[in-house]
Structure 1
């Protein structure tokens, strides 16, 4: 009896031309991701709504653009949301981002009679969901009859906020989304700055996570 320890087998292997085509395809795919991921995350899909909801953690220049959107969109009410301040809480006059942003709007000349601050609970994670739940609970007890809102968010965080607010407010309230454009990096070339790279990569990971969470609970 003859015992064989090895044997010859025929296998398929990628040719040099195949490697060239595969490499070119990978480069094209990376370029498509680089140029399209920011617009995907920084989504703009506003709807007809009487209420503009502004996330309270936005920078001041984004708050100014939110006020401009309010005037342009002919809204009847602006609502600010947000959790307690993460720094300066014991020194600040306003203890949460909702009230801080509302005060900023008033300082910028906004009509305080058209403004409501809706603070969220203090949470260690899922702060966007906490703000959405606080808004849902406030609307349920307010005299306002709200069928739809536009959510004013910031840059690539917008799509994640949109997912969360839609799920929390669905099906009673329709939600549109508007993303303020960042000024601390170029959205068209976000990968060329550390701020843009950190922001976009972090939001990609957070977006994937957001797709697998039941935000209603």
Structure 2
């Protein structure tokens, strides 16, 4: 019996629950090609996840800055520098209620804390507006964006050009920009400026427990946001 006849031979029952079938399997050559074609891009995407999430794409001529008030001090320093050196006319600080320090600090929300900090760093107080929102356990970014959107709808003269740069922390940048775009609407042009963790190595993020956790959490959160989460 030649090979062709063996392949075309009908399968015979091998029992009540099992039967024989002829199966074609890839050769080692095809396996190598598949590994290169599929595995190569997959490894490249994995290694560049941090940089993809921590995107920086500012909008030209943005007259508005949006600062997420919860960002760490090094990011607030970058936000203050950006506010001082650009033509942005107004800086909005967003944020939920503080989860610690309220017994000692005069601030009750991250928005108020960020606004006061930027003022101390040299940003004119008249250019800063605090836009706090209520507490949320699962949709914090969306609640902050929604509060800002409501504030701007009530005060349309604050940003007539509808161009804004969002300043946020590291791997949160891509998701945060997506959510602010959704809440502010299609007539807004929203850029983003990421403030990477100075201790993180974007090319070797998977070797650091903190950066690995950030990337994993953001990928999960991004998936949730795409289907209607935060």
Structure 1 range deviating more: 75-84 or 21-30: 21-30
Residue by residue over 1:132-167, the C-alpha shift from the partner in whole angstroms, topping out at 9 and shown as x without a partner, is 111011112224143221111111110100110000
How is 1:16-165 mapped onto 2 (pairs within 5 angstroms)?
16-47=28-59, 48-142=61-155, 143-146=157-160, 147-165=162-180
Q: How does 1:194-213 map to 2 (within 5 A)?
A: 194-213=209-228
Looking at structure 1, the residues matched to 75 and 210 of structure 2 have their Cα atoms a distance apart, in angstroms, of: 17
Q: Which residue of 1 aligns with 2:6?
A: none
Question: Hey, what's the Cα distance between the residues in 2 that align with 1:98 and 1:133?
Answer: 14
> Distance between the aligned counterparts of 1:137 and 1:66, measured in 2?
23
| Cα root mean square deviation, aligned | 1.9
1:214 offset after TM fit, Å?
7.6
Q: Which residue of 2 aligns with 1:9?
A: 21
Listed as ranges, the gaps of 5+ residues in structure 1 are: none
Taking the aligned partners of 2:187 and 2:46, their CA distance within structure 1 comes to: 36
Q: Please state how far the C-alpha of 1:23 moved relative to its aligned partner.
A: 3.6
Q: Residues 37-86 of structure 1: CA distance to partner in whole angstroms, max 9, x if unpaired?
A: 22221112211211101000111111111112223321111111000012
* Max Rg structure: 2
TM-superposed CA distance for 1:109, in Å, is: 2.3
Give the Cα separation in 2 of the matches to 1:141 and 1:127: 21
| Structure 2 residue ranges without an equivalent (≥5) | 1-11
The Cα of 1:31 is off from its aligned counterpart by: 2.4
TM-score with structure 2 length normalisation? 0.84
Between Structure 1 and Structure 2, how many residues are aligned? 212
Distance, in Å, in 1 between the alignment partners of 2:213 and 2:172 is 12
SS in 2 for 1:168: helix
Q: Is the 8 A contact 2:97 2:109 kept in 1?
A: yes
Name which of structure 1's ranges 118-127 and 4-13 shifts more when overlaid on structure 2. Answer: 4-13
List per-residue Cα deviations over 1:7-47 (Å, max 9, x = no partner).
54321112233333334445423421133222221112211
Matched with 1:183 is: 198
